[in-house]
Structure formats: C-alpha cells, structure tokens
A and B are shown apart, each in its own frame.
Chain A
Amino acid sequence: MFESLTEKLQGIFDKLARRGKLTEEDVDAGLREVRLALLEADVSYKVVKDFIARVKERAVGAEVMRSLTPAQQVIKIVHEELIATLGEPSKVDLSGTPPHVIMLVGLQGSGKTTTAAKLALRLRKAGQRPLLVAADTYRPAAVTQLEILGRQLDIPVHSEGVEVPPPTICVNALKRAEAAAYNVVIMDTAGRLHIDDEMMSELEHIKRLTRPREVLLVADAMTGQDAVRVASDFHQRVGLTGLILTKVDGDARGGAAISIRAVTGVPIKFLGVGEKTDALEPFHPDRLASRILGMGDVLSLIEKAQAEMDETQAMAMGQKLLQGEFNLEDFLAQLHQVKKLGPLSQLLEMIPGYSNISKEISPELTDKQMKRVEAIISSMTREERLNPLIINASRKRRIARGSGTTVQDVNMLLSQFRQMQRMVKRLGQGRGRRGLMSLFR
C-alpha cells in the first residue's frame, strides 16, 4: 500500500526516462496505472473512462516542465483534473429569510442521523440556532437516537414519535422554528433505496412542503460502483444541492465522491471523520484527490505538523526516528510537540498505509495515556532515558512510585516504545521511506 501511484508511474517512466514533450506512448503507459488506481478506489467505470479521455487529451504533447519528470508531469495533470472534478468546497447556504431548512437524504446506514447532529453542532458553534427534526419514523429507535444526540449537545429536537407521517412532522417543526426563532432546521429523514418509489415520493412531498435551501445527500465513503445510480436517482427525484461524504476516517479511498460529483455536479460540503459529534470536517479537494489516487492524506498531516511544530526540530526527529536512534529523552521532548497536534490516533490515520500497521501501534500510547507516559518518563533518570535497557526491576518500582503508576504500566510503556522503534526502523528501511520522510519535511 505504500507503493503509491507516484512510485508506480516513476517505475514506468524510468524506462522511458527522457525530457521534452509527453508522447502518446508515455501518456498511455501512465494512464493505464491511473485507470487501475481509480477503479480500485471505486470510481465508477464510466466516470473513469471519461476522465482518462480528458486527461489524455490534455497530456499528450504537453511540455514536461523542467523541474519535473514525465511521471510527475502526468501525475500533476491527473491531480489537477481530479481536483477540478471534485470542485470547490462549499459552505452551507444560509441566505434568504430564516428559518433555513436543511434536508438530509440517503441510503440506509449512510450516517444521516449522526451527520444531522454534527451539522447542528457545527452551525451552533458558528452562532446559529439550529432545530433538529426526527423525521425517520421507520427504523426502530431512530427517533430516540436523534433525541439522545440532541440532549447530549443541548440542541433541541423536534419529534412526534413514529405514528405521525414524516411530512407532517417536518411541517410542524418548521412552524415551531418560526415561533421560537430557530433559524436553521435540520431534517433527519429515513434511509431509503433510490428505487423505492413510494419512499422517494415521500421525500418529494417533504421537499414541496418545507422548501429546503439545502438537500444534502449523505453518502458512505465506502460506496462502490452503485454510487452513480444512487446519486443520480436521488438528484432526479429531489434535486440535491450538496454532498456529505461519511466514514472518511476509515481506509476507503472514497472514489464514490468523484462519481457523485461527475453525475450530479453538486458541491461537496463536508466530510464525516468519526463517530463523535464534532467529527465533521470541511472538504479539501487536493487532499481528497490524493487519497483517491492512493497517495494518502499526507498533505493534511504535513499541514498540521507545519502549523504546530518547530520545523527544524521536526526534521531532526524524523531523521532520528528513521535511523532508529530515537530514545526516550527525544520521545519526551517530542511528546510536548506532538500534544499540540491533537490525538495521535487521528494523525496516524492520515498516513497512507496506516491500516496495515494499525495493529502494531496503539494510538492509546499518546491519547489517553499521554499524561501517564509523560509522568513515567519524567520519573526516569536521564541515563535511563538514553538507555532503557538498564531499567531493572528495582528501577521500575522506583519509576512507578515516582509517577503514580504501576510496574505494569512502566513495562507496557517500555515494550511499546521498543515496538515503535522497531516498526519505524522497518518503515525507514522499506518502501515507506519516501512516504514517511515526507511527514517531517
């Protein structure tokens, strides 16, 4: 998985290696790999076909820029075209007179209810007064689910049980919003199949009655080839205005986003990146493009690191890490830096190929245990930090006492540290080198 598209292309072009214009031969060779990457990422067959044709047209005869290799030149064009297809990020439309109605639609299990809560939280943080509407009366306990989320966030939920028809619930919610000055109404509708005529009519009905400003399709990032059909059917019936891609925190490449964009043309509004209610992020076309191409979301990570870390220090750490010279002393120093970046679990997931190594590193190492780890290392002598091998049983007891932890905790830390050293060393030697090094640039 660490072998990114860039590297594959590099391999192909190494054989051709020369400068000048991109020939048809170059481009065809490269685009075969691109096609494969896109299909592996679940971009729809037809969308891939059109896309490849478009890139080819642009690429053949293009001047290879002096600073780039032909492989990089093709990747650059592909990347640019992908970004263009993904389109600009777009905010939720809150123009016109309130209350602004936002309707969430999609297949069963795509994540509408959770997304409704996330969206409400986000809008409230932006100073709005949202009202959530429990209009999924079909799935058992869907109403309760939204009510619980609303209570947790202290955001009001309009619900009328499961006997009242959803269109009526939505109309009543709108009235309530007008009366109580809620300016955004977010409607959670039941999941439904795009081919279920009756259920799709219900959506049309709700739309007619409530005139939503936004009709957002909530789609799972893992969706396969069917995304095209689903999106175009929903679009045809209810006129989508945007897309929210969910479960982006997994390792799905998310090619469905390209397919959906290609057939509907509606903008991508947000990405869902976790189960917690604050795990909703704005969408960055360049990052999603890299991810779909199998180049990982390294950009996000680099940006985070750049914003928070002292660059030369980070660079030095990267070198040490890769050479396996990284000791507990460095580790402690870096803990303070890393802490500023947010939970390590989140950071790790941005690394391409992370899922392959996820079983080897526990994100717990810094998340919840960060404090404990800090305490343990602080209780060590400098000598111990530089050479953990000297930490014998009595030293362990002393460290445990000093840090208010147990010998078991100390043991765990030491073994995890060894594991991490091993793993990083291995990555440093393997094909991952380029990927990992780029984290520290």
Chain B
Amino acid sequence: MFGRSKKISEGLTRTRQSFFGRISGLFGAREINEELWEELEELLILADVGITPTVEIVERLRERVRRERVRDAQTVREMLKEELRAILLSPRQSAADGQLLTVILVVGANGSGKTTSIAKLARFYQQQGKRVILGAADTFRAAAIDQLKIWGQRVGCDVISHQPGADPGAVVYDAIQAARARQADVLIVDTAGRLHTKYNLMQELKKVRGVAAKNVHLAPHETLLVLDATTGQNALSQARHFKDSVEVTGIILAKLDGTAKGGVVFAIARELGLPIRYVGTGEGLDDWAEFDADVFVNSLFD
C-alpha cells in the first residue's frame, strides 16, 4: 500500500526514524528494566497515543513479559508491535461496491483537510475506473466552493454547487440528481468544517446526511471523518461526537507528512471501533493511500 507514492514512504521513513526508530533502538541489546518501560511510555505519549492507552499498553506488555518470562528486549519489541496492530485491526468497511450510486459524506473540524482529501479520494476512485462527481456542500466558508471547483478541474470531474450561503442540504439533493443523470458511480460530498461542540452546526450536518439517506438507498454509504494528524487528544472527542451525530464509518488521517504521529487513532480505534480508511501525506493529488493496519504497523517497524 505504501509503495505507490514516494512521498508516503518518505513520510513514513521519517516517522520510523523519529518514533519507532527510537523504539527499535530501545530494544537493541539491553535488558528489560524500569528505564526501558519509562522510555517506552514517553515514546508512546510523544506520538499522541494518549496517557491512558499508553499506560494500558505498557501494563499489558509488562504483564506478558512477566508471564512469558521474556528476557530480551527484542521480543518485547515484537510484542509491542502485536499489541499496537491488534488495536488497529478493526473490520474493514469498504464503500458499497456495485451500488448504483455510492454516496460518500466527508466531515470534520475546520481546516482538517476535508476538501483536499476529497480531491485525492476522487482521483483514487477515478483510477479504479469510476465516474466521480463532487458536491460542494460547504456553502459557509468564504471561497470554499471555489476551492473545490479548482480541485474538480484538476481531477477532471464535475462539481455541483450552489451560491455561497445556500442550504447545504439542497446542494446534496441537486448533486444526487446530477450524479444520477450523469450516471456517476460515486458522489463525494464536501461539508463545511465545524467543531463538534457546536450544537447548531451538528444539527445541520444531520440534516445534510438525512437528505442523502432519503434520496439514495442506504446512503451515505460511507461517512468519513477527516482528522488532522497533528491533533492531540481532542481527536477522540471529535470522533465520538461526529460518530454520534452522523454515524461516521471511518477515518481519513490527513497531514501525516509532518512530524506528528497521529497516535490518537489507537484510542479512536479501540474506543469507538472506527477503522482508519485512508492517509493523506501531502498537498498533492497523489499524496494518498488506503490504510491497512497490518502494512501500516509493519512498515513502521521494519
């Protein structure tokens, strides 16, 4: 999965060197002592895994090491890998294939990377031979519609939009009609960024979802929450609220090309059972990959 784009592997290499590289270093030829556990805790916390999950993971690992009489740090490393991988292994949900029209709703906080991710996702589906249409339901932020239109041009797909300030539900309705008329396979809907604490805005998002649900059988077939990898523990609160409001089915982890590790996804996967579906690794259309827990964890450790 990561071989497709050079930037992705570069991004991960950096991650590997800085984070897991250090962990690997920790497990070289050394004994298992308090210092090791402490350093391990530090590394997980620095990766935004969060204090509670970190303590739990480390505790579990300690317990196993005691029970299984593990002597060398190398084995502990393999065990950590297993633990982390186990957390991320949630059942994979994929967009309903073979649907007449697959509707994907993309939601998230302001500036998390929704619009850019939508362009990348459109390209991703196009490469699978799908006909994609975009719906510009962020009618709130200044120039958000223009931004999506520019991406639409670059990707080469139609963008259905209304005037700024228009009802986002109406945009979705029209986008569905247009997608049908043009026999599109996939409709991806961009929505305005919003903080999950805003009652009105979350209600509005429910309505937008409702329009899709009413007009297309089983829609939205996927509701993807875009998380900025730089985000710390608040991402868990975000995921929880968005899931409650609009039944999020998966996560897009954007901006993984920085130095942030996005470790909060472990807590999100564990507590909310939300799978990570894609990762964004740059500002270009191809800085994108499907997420695969096995490959992800393995490639971090290799």
**Residue ranges of A at the interface with B (Cβ–Cβ < 8 Å):** 36, 39-42, 44-45, 107-111, 138-142, 144-145, 147-149, 152, 193-195, 220, 222-226, 229-230, 247, 249-253, 255-256, 275, 345, 349, 354-355, 358-359, 361-364
> A144–B143 Cα gap in the complex (Å)?
6
Interface string of B213-233 (1 = CB under 8 A from A): 000000000000000101111
Contact of B232 with A363 in the complex, beta carbons under 8 Å: no
> A249–B109 Cα gap in the complex (Å)?
12
Contact of B228 with A251 in the complex, beta carbons under 8 Å: no
**Chain A nearest Cβ from B8, distance in angstroms:** 15
Contact of A225 with B232 in the complex, beta carbons under 8 Å: yes
* Interface presence of B195 (CB below 8 A): yes
Contact of A223 with B231 in the complex, beta carbons under 8 Å: yes
User: A-B pairs with CB below 8 Å: how many?
Assistant: 160
Q: Which residue of A is nearest B201, CB measured? A: A275
Q: Which residues of A contact B48 (CB under 8 A)?
A: 42, 224-226
Contact of B45 with A45 in the complex, beta carbons under 8 Å: yes
> A364–B200 Cα gap in the complex (Å)?
8
**Chain A nearest Cβ from B271, distance in angstroms:** 14
Q: A108-B111, A355-B196 are in contact. Are A222 and B231 (CB under 8 A)?
A: yes
Q: Which residue of B is nearest A148, CB measured? A: B142
Contact of B46 with A225 in the complex, beta carbons under 8 Å: yes
Contact of A42 with B111 in the complex, beta carbons under 8 Å: no
> A273–B24 Cα gap in the complex (Å)?
42
Q: Which of B25-33, B77-85, B257-265, B290-298 contacts A (4 or more CB under 8 A)?
A: B257-265
* Interface presence of B51 (CB below 8 A): yes
Q: A40-B51, A250-B196, A275-B110 are in contact. Are A220 and B231 (CB under 8 A)?
A: yes
Closest 5 CB pairs of A and B: A224-B232, A109-B111, A42-B232, A145-B143, A141-B147
Contact of A223 with B146 in the complex, beta carbons under 8 Å: no
Contact of B258 with A195 in the complex, beta carbons under 8 Å: yes
> A256–B234 Cα gap in the complex (Å)?
12
Contact of B147 with A140 in the complex, beta carbons under 8 Å: yes
* Interface presence of B244 (CB below 8 A): yes
**Residue ranges of B at the interface with A (Cβ–Cβ < 8 Å):** 14, 42, 45-48, 50-52, 109-113, 140-144, 146-147, 149-151, 164, 195-200, 202-203, 228, 230-235, 237-238, 241, 244, 255, 257-261, 264, 283
Q: Which residues of A contact B200 (CB under 8 A)?
A: 345, 362-364
> A147–B142 Cα gap in the complex (Å)?
9
Contact of B233 with A224 in the complex, beta carbons under 8 Å: yes
Pairs across A and B, CB under 8 Å, 28 listed: A36-B51, A40-B233, A41-B233, A42-B232, A44-B46, A107-B258, A108-B283, A109-B112, A141-B146, A144-B146, A145-B144, A147-B143, A148-B164, A193-B259, A220-B111, A223-B231, A224-B230, A224-B233, A224-B235, A224-B264, A225-B48, A247-B110, A249-B195, A249-B197, A252-B234, A355-B196, A359-B199, A359-B202
**Chain B nearest Cβ from A136, distance in angstroms:** 11
**Chain A nearest Cβ from B140, distance in angstroms:** 8
Q: Which residues of B contact A364 (CB under 8 A)?
A: 199-200
Q: Which residue of A is nearest B113, CB measured? A: A109
Contact of A345 with B199 in the complex, beta carbons under 8 Å: yes
> A410–B263 Cα gap in the complex (Å)?
48
Please indicate which of the listed interface residues B14, B149, B150 has the most CB atoms of chain A within 10 Å of its own CB. Answer: B150
Q: Which residues of A contact B109 (CB under 8 A)?
A: 222, 247, 250
Contact of B51 with A358 in the complex, beta carbons under 8 Å: no
Q: Which residues of B contact A362 (CB under 8 A)?
A: 199-200, 203
Q: Which residues of A contact B257 (CB under 8 A)?
A: 193
Contact of A194 with B259 in the complex, beta carbons under 8 Å: yes
**Chain A nearest Cβ from B164, distance in angstroms:** 8
Q: Which residues of A contact B234 (CB under 8 A)?
A: 42, 222, 250-253
Q: Which residues of A contact B45 (CB under 8 A)?
A: 39, 45, 225
Q: Which residue of A is nearest B241, CB measured? A: A355
**Chain B nearest Cβ from A264, distance in angstroms:** 16
Contact of B46 with A141 in the complex, beta carbons under 8 Å: no
Please indicate which of the listed interface residues B147, B203, B232 has the most CB atoms of chain A within 10 Å of its own CB. Answer: B232
**Chain B nearest Cβ from A414, distance in angstroms:** 19
Contact of A223 with B230 in the complex, beta carbons under 8 Å: yes
Contact of A220 with B47 in the complex, beta carbons under 8 Å: no
Q: Which residues of B contact A39 (CB under 8 A)?
A: 45, 50-51
